[in-house]
């Protein structure tokens, strides 16, 4: 009964959000559309990162590399064949791929699959490592991916990047992908695989003793994470209209780290909230980059670069003072929301119970 | 077979030149890697900000010599002191509050500290590359026979060896060194034995950062462009050097530094077509070593307790 009600509520919410996406797509200015699109793309990548870092407890910092693979798949396959000679003016494209043209959705899936394949290959040596070593090794691989892309001139146009990607500015299109990723990951977390991921996060040795194949599950989480990061990276490229190896420096990964730390490591709805707050927040912080005059006096602090200082201070403050983030490992559920609506003040009474 | 062709075609002089370059780059890596390995040995965490401490030390030197016109030898001393203080402050602000927190939180805090230093440098000193002050005595070219060598390239290995000797003496023969070893062996027991953990950790950060400052000064003379992102790649590579040698082991860090430095120069010198992959070399070595010897070349074997 309650299950059916929750399902109906979820469907209504998704339909409502889709309606909102429709409205934003046609009725608002391009600036707002761009921010909403970026929020959703960041949500996809944040979710993908949460799958390894939050749910499986494997601290991976390779997201920028997997994004780069997806982004380049979109860049290589969706640029119209007629425009390619002018894009690849320094060195012509490799003949094997020069005539392949794909629609965006296919290029996204190809990019995701390529990223998953790379994750499978590097997972074998890397996932044996733990903690800090894993972080450095994945970070290293994301840099290696970028270095390979920079050097593969005839495939990726090297350091020049690929321009003239048909721009994507349809909010509904990105919304459909975000919703699909959200539903898939929510469903995955509630299967036996999801429970195995969480068991590995809590205690690897105990999980192994319970008969969970550590490597298989870690590798699966890593590949799925790479797949979604690849799709997110592809959408990111389509959104920007160009790709360039410099877009995928490993500092890009820090954005998603902030998203999942703010939202709560191991919370899907937390990642969604985190991505909205971080993306919108980064836009809002732009005012700090512009000179500000207050009562006719120019405040000297406000100049380009201040935004990122504040951003990094926020990241540090978050982890120092509010380690669990907004949601912790909890999730938004209809049952709790309805209970809250029935008795808005009850939340103060059962705070201690909630923490468990 | 191109390797052998390049090798045969190379005159003795240019071979010697490459070796000197490799050894001086290796010494620089070793110098910075020691800071990583000492912190890891005691706190079991990567001090992600260490590379950015190197970057800050470069900026300090720039300001000392080019802006405030302090004589270079005095500047060097001031920079070493300021950088050591910076290391201690970072530890106090970013790591000490998380002493009992899960490891991932400490890692994120370290990443945050590194990101903050980079953005702060970008904000304060602008992203435009600055030129490291030219110190005539150290950057002049010496010619030994047919080999042209910057004086600093000869100077770097000597400084590294001297610093290593002093450091090993401190760690092995003094009281503070003994407490460092105790803390890295067992944190809890060391506390029970009456060692002031916080002091030991602060001193470790101070020593590591002072070495980073010395490394940074030599780095700046050797590669004179200073940017806010200067410390990132050396930082990662030096951490890798520390891991290759066996993290927590000072001699291991030096060994790892030399392996990476020589390896990189050999790639650039003998396989010029691969020089674009120069930065990937360190990561590949890391994966290979960790795969076959997870504790590093000189690391002690540890067993995991449940």
The domain limits of chain A are 2-256
CA distance A3 to chain B (A): 35
Cβ <8 Å between B287 and A313 = no
Give the pLDDT mean for A124-132.
81
Are A74 and A104 a contacting pair, CB within 8 Å? Answer: yes
Tell the residue number behind the tokens 């602060």, with chain if given. Answer: B202
Contact A171, A33 (CB under 8 A): yes
Residues of chain A with Cβ-Cβ distance to B239 below 8 Å are 136
CA–CA dist B243, A134 (Å, integer): 12
Nearest CB partner across the interface for B112, out of A126, A305, A312: A312
Beta bridge partners of B143: B148
Chain A residues 4-43 with CB within 8 Å of chain B: none
Average pLDDT of every residue of chain B: 86
DSSP, collapsed to helix, strand or coil, labels residue A172 as helix
The verdict on A285 touching B (C-beta cutoff 8 Å) is: no
Using an 8 Å CB-CB cutoff, list chain A residues near B116: 309, 312-313, 315-316
Using a CB cutoff of 8 Å and minimum separation of 24, what contacts does B74-81 make? B76/B217, B79/B213, B79/B216, B79/B217, B80/B210, B80/B213, B80/B214, B81/B210
* Mean pLDDT of all residues in A258-284: 88
Judged by CB atoms within 8 Å, which residues 2-41 of B form the interface with A?
A: 40
How many helices (H) does chain B have, and how many strands (E)?
13, 4
Would you call A147 and B279 a contact, using CB atoms and an 8 Å cutoff?
yes
CB contact A308 to B (< 8 Å): yes
Task: For A201, name the nearest residue in chain B, comparing CA atoms only.
Answer: B104
pLDDT confidence bin for A107, thresholds 50/70/90: very high
What SS3 string covers A220-239?
HHHHHHHHHHHHHHHHHHHH
Q: Which of B116, B283, B304 sits opposite A141 (nearest CB)?
A: B283
| pLDDT at res. B200 | 92
Q: What is the pLDDT of residues A301-327, one digit of tens each?
A: 677 778 888 888 888 888 888 877 787
CA distance A127 to chain B (A): 10
Instruction: Using an 8 Å CB-CB cutoff, list chain B residues near A312.
Output: 112, 115-116, 118-120
**Average pLDDT value for residue range B243-247:** 86
Mutation target for A interface from B112, B227, B236: give the one with most A CBs within 10 A.
Answer: B112
Residue A148 sits at the chain B interface (C-beta within 8 Å):
yes
Task: Encode pLDDT of B30-49 as tens digits.
Answer: 999 998 888 888 888 888 89
pLDDT higher than 90, residue A137: no
DSSP single-letter state for residue A331: -
Contact B54, B212 (CB under 8 A): yes
Residue A199, pLDDT score = 94
B306 vs A contacts (CB less than 8 Å): 205
At B306, is the pLDDT very low, low, confident or very high (cuts 50, 70, 90)?
low
| Rounded Cα distance, B129 and B143, in Å | 30
Most distant CA atoms of chain B, gap in Å = 63
> What's the angle, vertex CA B208, arms to CA B78 and CA A138, rounded to 5?
130
Q: What are the φ/ψ torsions at residue A254 (nearest 5 degrees)? A: -60, -30
Residue B1, pLDDT above cutoff 50: no
Question: What is residue B214's predicted lDDT score, i.e. its pLDDT?
Answer: 94
User: Which residue from B279, B208, B232, B283 is spatially nearest to B114, judged by alpha carbons?
Assistant: B232
Contact B115 A151 (CB under 8 A): no
Give the Cα separation of B46 and B240 in Å (integer). 11
Confidence band, pLDDT 50/70/90 cuts, at residue A354: very low
Does B279 sit within 8 Å of A143, measured CB to CB?
Answer: yes
Touching B: A residues 197-256, CB under 8 Å = 205, 251, 254
Q: How far apart are CA B206 and CA A227, in angstroms?
A: 43
pLDDT reading at B202 higher than 80: yes
Position A352 confidence tier, pLDDT thresholds 50, 70, 90 = very low
pLDDT at A348: 58
Q: Using CA coordinates, name the residue in chain A closest to B109.
A: A316
B275 touches chain A (CB under 8 A): no
**Cα–Cα distance for residue pair B217/B204, rounded to 1 Å:** 20
Residues B111, A259: Cα–Cα separation, whole Å: 14
What is the architecture, at CATH level 2, of domain A2-256?
Orthogonal Bundle (1.10)
The pLDDT-based confidence of A290 (bands split at 50, 70, 90) is confident
Going by pLDDT thresholds of 50, 70 and 90, the confidence category of residue A353 is very low
E-strand stretches of chain A: 292-294, 297-299
How much of chain B exceeds pLDDT 90, in percent? 36
Q: Give the best residue of A136, A255, A302 to mutate against chain B (max B CB count within 10 A).
A: A136
pLDDT in tens, A192-249: 999 999 999 998 889 999 999 999 999 999 999 999 999 999 999 999 999 999 889 8
Residues of A in contact with B123 (CB under 8 A): 303, 305-306, 308-309
pLDDT at residue B2, as a whole number: 52
Which residues lie closer than 8 Å to B152 by C-beta, 6 or more apart?
B24, B138, B139, B218, B221, B222
**Average per-residue pLDDT for chain A:** 86
Q: What is the pLDDT of residue A297?
A: 67
**Position B9 pLDDT exceeds 70:** no
Report whether A43 contacts A276 (CB < 8 A): yes
- Report B:73-132 residues touching A (Cβ under 8 A): 94, 97-98, 101-105, 107-109, 111-113, 115-116, 118-120, 122-123, 126-127
Nearest to A254 among B111, B120, B123 (CB): B111
Give B101's pLDDT tier (boundaries 50, 70, 90).
confident
B306 touches chain A (CB under 8 A): yes
Are residues A125 and B306, on separate chains, in Cβ contact within 8 Å? no
Structure tokens at A286: 């732009």
**For residues A278 and A261, what is the distance between their CA atoms, to the nearest angstrom?**
11
Residue B219 has pLDDT above 60, yes or no: yes
pLDDT at A3 over 70: yes
Backbone phi, then psi, for A149, in 5-degree steps?
-60, -40
pLDDT tier at B10 (50, 70, 90 boundaries)?
A: low
Whether the pLDDT of residue A158 is over 80: the answer is yes
Instruction: Compute the distance between CA of residue A119 and CA of residue A106 in angstroms, rounded to an integer.
Output: 20
User: Out of A265-279, A298-312, B47-61, which region has the weakest mean confidence (pLDDT)?
Assistant: A298-312
* Mean pLDDT in residue range A100-129: 91
Indicate left, alpha or beta for A57 from its phi (over 0: left) and psi (-120 to 50: alpha): left
Q: What is the pLDDT of residue A243?
A: 92
Chain A: closest CA distance from residue B269 (Å): 18
| A189 pLDDT above the threshold of 70 | yes
B283 in Cβ contact with B240 (< 8 Å): yes
Q: What is the pLDDT of residue A356?
A: 37
List beta partners, residue A162: A243
CATH of domain B22-142+150-292: 1.10.3470
Question: Cα–Cα distance between A80 and A88 in angstroms, integer?
Answer: 12
pLDDT tier for residue B263 given thresholds of 50, 70 and 90: very high
User: A152 in contact with B at a CB cutoff of 8 Å?
Assistant: no
Report yes or no for ipTM above 0.95. no
Closest CA to B206 of B68, B66, B80: B80
């Amino acid at each position: 009964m309650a299950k059916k009600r929750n399902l109906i509520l979820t469907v209504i919410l998704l339909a409502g959000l889709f309606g909102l996406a429709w409205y934003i797509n046609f009725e608002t200015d391009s600036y707002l559309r761009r921010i909403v699109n970026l929020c959703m793309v960041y949500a996809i990548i944040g979710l993908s990162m949460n799958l390894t870092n939050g749910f499986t407890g494997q601290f991976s910092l390779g997201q920028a590399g997997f994004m780069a693979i997806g982004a380049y798949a979109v860049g290589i396959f969706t640029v119209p064949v007629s425009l390619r000679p002018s894009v690849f003016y320094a060195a012509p494209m490799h003949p094997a791929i020069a005539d392949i043209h794909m629609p965006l959705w296919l290029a996204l899936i190809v990019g995701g699959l390529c990223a998953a394949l790379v994750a499978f290959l590097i997972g074998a040596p890397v996932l044996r490592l733990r903690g800090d070593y894993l972080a450095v090794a994945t970070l290293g691989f994301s840099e290696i991916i970028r270095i390979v892309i920079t050097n593969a001139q005839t495939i990726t146009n090297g350091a020049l990047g690929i321009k003239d990607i048909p721009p994507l500015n349809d909010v509904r299109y990105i919304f459909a992908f975000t919703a699909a990723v959200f539903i898939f990951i929510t469903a995955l977390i509630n299967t036996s695989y999801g429970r195995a991921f969480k068991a590995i996060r809590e205690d690897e040795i105990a999980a192994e003793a319970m008969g969970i194949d550590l490597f298989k599950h870690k590798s699966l989480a890593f590949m799925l994470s790479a797949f979604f990061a690849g799709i997110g990276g592809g959408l990111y490229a389509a959104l920007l209209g160009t790709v360039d190896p410099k877009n995928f420096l490993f500092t890009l990964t820090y954005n998603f780290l902030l998203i999942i730390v703010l939202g709560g490591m191991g919370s899907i709805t937390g990642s969604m909230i985190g991505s909205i707050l971080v993306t919108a927040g980064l836009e809002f912080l732009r005012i700090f980059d512009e000179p500000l005059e207050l009562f006719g006096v120019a405040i000297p602090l406000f100049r380009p670069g201040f935004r990122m200082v504040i951003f990094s201070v926020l990241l540090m403050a978050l982890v120092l003072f509010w380690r669990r983030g907004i949601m912790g490992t909890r999730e938004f559920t209809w049952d709790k929301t309805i209970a809250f609506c029935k008795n808005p003040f009850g939340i103060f009474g059962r705070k201690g119970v909630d923490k468990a | 077979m191109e390797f052998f062709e390049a090798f045969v075609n190379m005159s003795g002089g240019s071979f010697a030149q490459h070796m000197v370059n490799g050894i001086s780059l290796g010494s620089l890596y070793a110098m910075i890697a020691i800071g990583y390995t000492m912190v890891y040995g005691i706190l079991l965490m990567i001090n992600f900000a260490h590379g950015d401490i190197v970057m800050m030390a470069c900026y300090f030197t720039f300001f000392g010599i080019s802006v405030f016109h302090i004589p270079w030898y005095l500047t060097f001393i001031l920079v070493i002191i300021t950088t050591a203080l910076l290391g201690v402050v970072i530890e106090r602000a970013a790591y000490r509050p998380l002493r009992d927190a899960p490891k991932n939180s400490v890692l994120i805090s370290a990443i945050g500290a590194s990101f903050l230093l980079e953005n702060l440098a970008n904000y304060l000193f602008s992203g435009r590359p600055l030129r490291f002050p030219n110190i005539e005595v150290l950057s002049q070219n010496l010619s030994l026979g047919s080999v042209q060598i910057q004086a600093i390239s000869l100077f770097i290995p000597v400084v590294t060896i001297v610093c290593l000797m002093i450091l090993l003496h401190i760690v092995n023969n003094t009281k503070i060194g003994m407490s460092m070893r105790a803390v890295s062996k067992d944190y809890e027991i060391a506390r029970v034995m009456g060692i002031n953990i916080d002091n030991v950790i602060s001193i470790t950060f101070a020593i590591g950062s002072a070495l980073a400052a010395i490394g940074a000064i030599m780095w700046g003379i050797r590669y004179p462009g200073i940017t806010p992102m200067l410390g990132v790649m050396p930082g990662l590579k030096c951490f890798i050097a520390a891991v290759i040698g066996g993290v927590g082991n000072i001699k291991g860090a030096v060994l790892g530094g030399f392996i990476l430095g020589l390896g990189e120069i050999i790639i650039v010198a003998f396989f010029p077509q691969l020089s674009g992959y120069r930065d990937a070399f360190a990561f590949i070595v890391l994966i290979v070593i960790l795969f076959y010897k997870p504790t590093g070349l000189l690391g002690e074997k540890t067993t995991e307790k449940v």
